[in-house]
Structure 1
Amino acid sequence: MFASRCCAVLVMLLLGLSTANAAQRTDFAQALREADAIRTSDAARFSALVLELKTVEEEATPAQRQYLQLLEAYRLLARGQVSDSVGVLDKLLGSKDMEIALRVRASALLVNTYALSRDFTAGLKQIDRTTALLDQVKDKAIRHQAMIAAAILYNQVGQFGLGMRNAEAVQEDEPGSRFLCMAAQLKTEASLGLDKTLPDEDYNKAIHLCESIGEPIMANLTRSYLAKKWFSEGKPNAAIELLEEHLGEVEATRYPYLIGEFNSLIAKFRLAGGDLALAERHAHAAIKQGIGFPSTKPLVTAYRVLYSIAEIQEKPYDALMYYKRYAEADKIYLDEVKAREMAYQLVQHETQAQAQEIELLNKQNEVLQLQQRVNEQKAQSSRLLILLLVVLVGSISYWAFKTKRVQMSLKRMAETDALTSICNRHHFNQQSTHTLAHAARQGEDVALVMFDLDHFKSINDRFGHDTGDWVLKRVSEHCLAFCRRVDHLGRIGGEEFAILLSGCDLRGAKRVADDCRVRIASIDTQPSGHSFLITASFGVTASSLSGYDLAKLLSHADKALYRSKREGRNRVSTFDGDVQPWTQLQVVAAGDPTAHGMATPEVASDRPFRNLIS
């Protein structure tokens, strides 16, 4: 009510009820400053003030209208109208007569806007443009705003070291309370990104600082980090209580990402505690906030919760539907994470190229100056010098190109199986170990599928090794079709393969293995010049059974693969914790007509389980 009255009085003043033109401009400038002061602490009142000011902006000076354009960009961004905000800022930055302080603020806001629109390449380039202007700005608050914007984007693209550096630079420059709050929140976020363990006191200090100045968004972002920490420490009830206590405050901010984050975390924690009804309700609430933002982590978490609930309730149709949505959202999210990293690398390379180009131009200028002095003495010497430089630059370029090609070729040879063009055993182990470590930190499911071609030695003996190589290539091509970008397929033995599936539980891995088995059995062998059947035996395990140690996953999957061999081949078996090794005595007991007191050719060649970790 009080805010409405203030707006009404302000509008009356701006509409010209004050008799003096100078007084109108003073009121307009005061209203701009008031709106700017509350734009993050009171979003509703800020939006109302900006809209009212826009109705009377013809009364303002050109500089005041530019200031109002900046506030309008803030308003649009807060409402999620990201592309509209970019349009306003581009137009504003195109003005030639804008004050440097306002230009830096607009440029810093454009950095944030590009971050929200996922145009990280443009955002990183805008950081460079903003940084180039900072030396001309005397107002510390504006410099701090630009550094905070840079820290936000660097954290988003995974460059947490740069994010930490900018946040600490703000803290050391004696900022105002608002920027001190933002720097504390960003420093906490960067610390988590760098896998630094922080005490609860650091989180609470940042929360209380932001609360004390009326900044609920930053305070509650830090609360979400604290809740994740508590959940990982085995304190789910404390984490749920913290989030639910402040959910109403978060919803009042109207910030979609933060609302989605709180609801998705509550849903995940409630599911872990067995409260399916509340977990489902909060998951749907998170999805509602994710509409229009398909690449956010809260959306992935919410769909995973709904998928798990449907499985628990034995609703296969709903489980399949939510799993598809989860897989799609997870793929989009992972692709975006990669795109953020690539955006930073791209901008870095472009910056380095520009620096090298400038350096090259400087060198060329020096050469020209030397050439001019030499020309004054002797024209012939000048021509010889130019020729020498051309030969030198050409030689350097040629050998640099050759060296790069050799490096790339060696890298490919070191990582790729020469026959099948998939990961070799060493590279598969490296990639899988990295993925498992990440999954262990995040608490995500990982599954391992191992398979071995049946009677492969018989194929080599009957049709020759060329046909055997043809089989290995076709099997690799067919199985690669089932792998996502985050999965790893590797040839770990002669005819033995393994697939590490990220974000996949035992049931999903078994489905993938069975699809691979069917696809392998359907391979048409006529192009090889011979007609025969290709089959494979599969063993499957998951982190829920075997943990996140690659050696143990491989060992357990191998034991499950033994069972597939023992039970007739061309089948999928899952590790159940009680699988016995395949021995020669069991071969005879099973009545294998090829045994005669010893293992079959393929078992003899690859069994028992070998050291698969190089």
Structure 2
Amino acid sequence: MAKNNPKILPGTPPPDAAQTLLALMHAQSEVARLSEREQLFSSLLESVNAVLWAFDWETRQVLYVSPAFERIFGRPVCRVMADFNVWRDSIYPDDLEFAEQSLAQVLSTGSVEHREYRILNDDGELRWLSDKCYVSQQPGNDRVTIVGIAEDITDKKRLEGELQRLATTDVLTQSSNRRHFFECAKQAFDKAREDGTPLTFLLLDIDDFKNINDSYGHQEGDQVLQRIAHSGRTVLRRGDLFGRIGGEEFAAVFPGCKAKVAEQIAERLQREVQRLSFGQEGQTYSVTVSQGLTGLLDDDDTLNSLYARADAAMYQAKRQGKNQIVQG
């Protein structure tokens, strides 16, 4: 009996050729999927405002940086891949020692997550980075690779700085507000006590300020406060503290300043205020201030006792005719 062999239609490939074709089609599909995933991954890396990086500790060679490096540092990726010093040299000089020490610390701790430093990009713009790093070591491999993510936190730092400024500054005069002034004054007082150095406390009050508000309005009174605050900041030395601690009352602390020098500063401030001229509706007027000045006298002194003595001296200046300095 004759065998019934299956009929192969013309143009049909042999069975093993069909399998090869299916395998090729599957491979092409996998390549397409991988390419799509790679494009998606690259797109994600482009959109992240952080630099992913890998660094060979022994050879000091950058093994990988993500595309954000070029955007944040303003330098081509190929440059830092060729030379790690491109990254190192971009670090703000004051932060370089910390950045290098904290990077080395990861070898003993395994990770460093609280690491912030500044860089200067290629345009000279100062930017803040939060650069977390971790040791990545494969079992059986002595090669030490450090991987990390450097996030651009410049906007966050600017916001923090603005919030700090608002929390510590008198909005009207741009001087320290009362709380911040006394916090800084306490630190200066404690340091003077510890170092055995002099410190002087000054209180200043604008004479007849209520008459200014009543005669010319509160807006004019605000201008008087602003200009006297500016005079105070102009006359004081670098490192001196100055703040608005009440409606028309200002205070200053002179660290390391003996009574005679502090008196000279107060006299300069007195003259500076007297030179100010104000005008409203064709009328001009000037203002004066009364000041109380005191310094550390004995071991029982506290910041509160200095404040109380300066306050008493200032009111004595008021009683004696105003526009003068009294030492307490």
Q: Shorter chain as normaliser: what TM range?
A: 0.5 to 0.7
Which of 497-506 and 390-399 deviates more?
390-399
Out of 252, 255, 259, which is 1:506 matched to? 259
Question: What does residue 121 of structure 2 align with?
Answer: none
* Larger helix percent: 1
Contact 1:440 1:548 in 2 (8 A): no
Question: What does residue 103 of structure 2 align with?
Answer: none
For 1:453 and 1:522, how far apart are their aligned partners in 2? 14
TM-superposed CA distance for 1:408, in Å, is 0.9
Question: What does residue 37 of structure 2 align with?
Answer: 381
Structure whose CA Rg is larger: 2
Out of 559, 566, 573, which is 2:319 matched to? 566
Alignment CA distance shift 1:429-1:528 (3 Å): farther
Alignment CA distance shift 1:527-1:482 (3 Å): farther
Q: Are 2:167 and 1:414 equivalent residues in the alignment?
A: yes
Q: Are 2:218 and 1:465 equivalent residues in the alignment?
A: yes
Question: What does residue 196 of structure 2 align with?
Answer: 443
Instruction: Give the SS at the match of 1:423.
Output: coil
Question: What does residue 244 of structure 2 align with?
Answer: 491
TM-superposed CA distance for 1:394, in Å, is 6.5
Contact 2:236 2:265 in 1 (8 A): no
Contact 2:216 2:280 in 1 (8 A): no
Q: What amino acid does structure 1 have at the position aligned with 2:45?
A: L
Q: Deviations over 1:517-555 (max 9, x none)?
A: 121111021489641121000111101269652111111
- Paired positions, count: 202
The higher-RCO structure (CA 8 Å, 6+ apart) is 2
Q: Are 2:48 and 1:392 equivalent residues in the alignment?
A: yes
Alignment CA distance shift 1:529-1:483 (3 Å): farther
Q: Are 2:295 and 1:542 equivalent residues in the alignment?
A: yes
1:299-310 aligned within 5 A:
none
For 1:439 and 1:516, how far apart are their aligned partners in 2? 24
Q: Deviations over 1:7-34 (max 9, x none)?
A: xxxxxxxxxxxxxxxxxxxxxxxxxxxx
For 2:231 and 2:299, how far apart are their aligned partners in 1? 27
Instruction: Give the SS at the match of 2:203.
Output: strand
Identity level (%): 31
TM-superposed CA distance for 1:389, in Å, is 2.2
For 2:306 and 2:193, how far apart are their aligned partners in 1? 13
For 2:281 and 2:310, how far apart are their aligned partners in 1? 31
Q: What 5-or-longer segments of structure 2 have no aligned partner?
A: 1-29, 52-67, 73-150
Contact 1:479 1:516 in 2 (8 A): yes
Question: What does residue 207 of structure 2 align with?
Answer: 454
Alignment CA distance shift 1:528-1:514 (3 Å): farther
Contact 2:203 2:252 in 1 (8 A): yes
Question: What does residue 101 of structure 2 align with?
Answer: none
1:363-378 aligned within 5 A:
378=34
Question: What does residue 208 of structure 1 align with?
Answer: none
1:192-231 aligned within 5 A:
none
Q: What amino acid does structure 2 have at the position aligned with 1:381?
A: R
Instruction: Give the SS at the match of 1:540.
Output: strand
Alignment CA distance shift 1:447-1:469 (3 Å): same
Alignment CA distance shift 1:404-1:492 (3 Å): same
Instruction: Give the SS at the match of 1:531.
Output: strand
Out of 170, 174, 178, which is 1:425 matched to? 178
For 2:172 and 2:299, how far apart are their aligned partners in 1? 31
Give the alignment's TM-score, normalised by structure 1: 0.31
TM-superposed CA distance for 1:442, in Å, is 1.2
Alignment CA distance shift 1:520-1:434 (3 Å): same
Question: What does residue 15 of structure 2 align with?
Answer: none
Question: What does residue 551 of structure 1 align with?
Answer: 304
* Larger strand percent: 2
For 1:467 and 1:377, how far apart are their aligned partners in 2? 72
Instruction: Give the SS at the match of 2:243.
Output: strand
For 1:508 and 1:381, how far apart are their aligned partners in 2? 72
Give the alignment's TM-score, normalised by structure 2: 0.57
Q: What amino acid does structure 2 have at the position aligned with 1:405?
A: R
Contact 1:463 1:530 in 2 (8 A): no
Q: What 5-or-longer segments of structure 1 have no aligned partner?
A: 1-373, 576-614
Contact 1:445 1:544 in 2 (8 A): no
Contact 1:513 1:572 in 2 (8 A): yes
Contact 1:546 1:556 in 2 (8 A): no
1:222-301 aligned within 5 A:
none
For 2:272 and 2:265, how far apart are their aligned partners in 1? 10
Which of 459-468 and 505-514 deviates more?
505-514
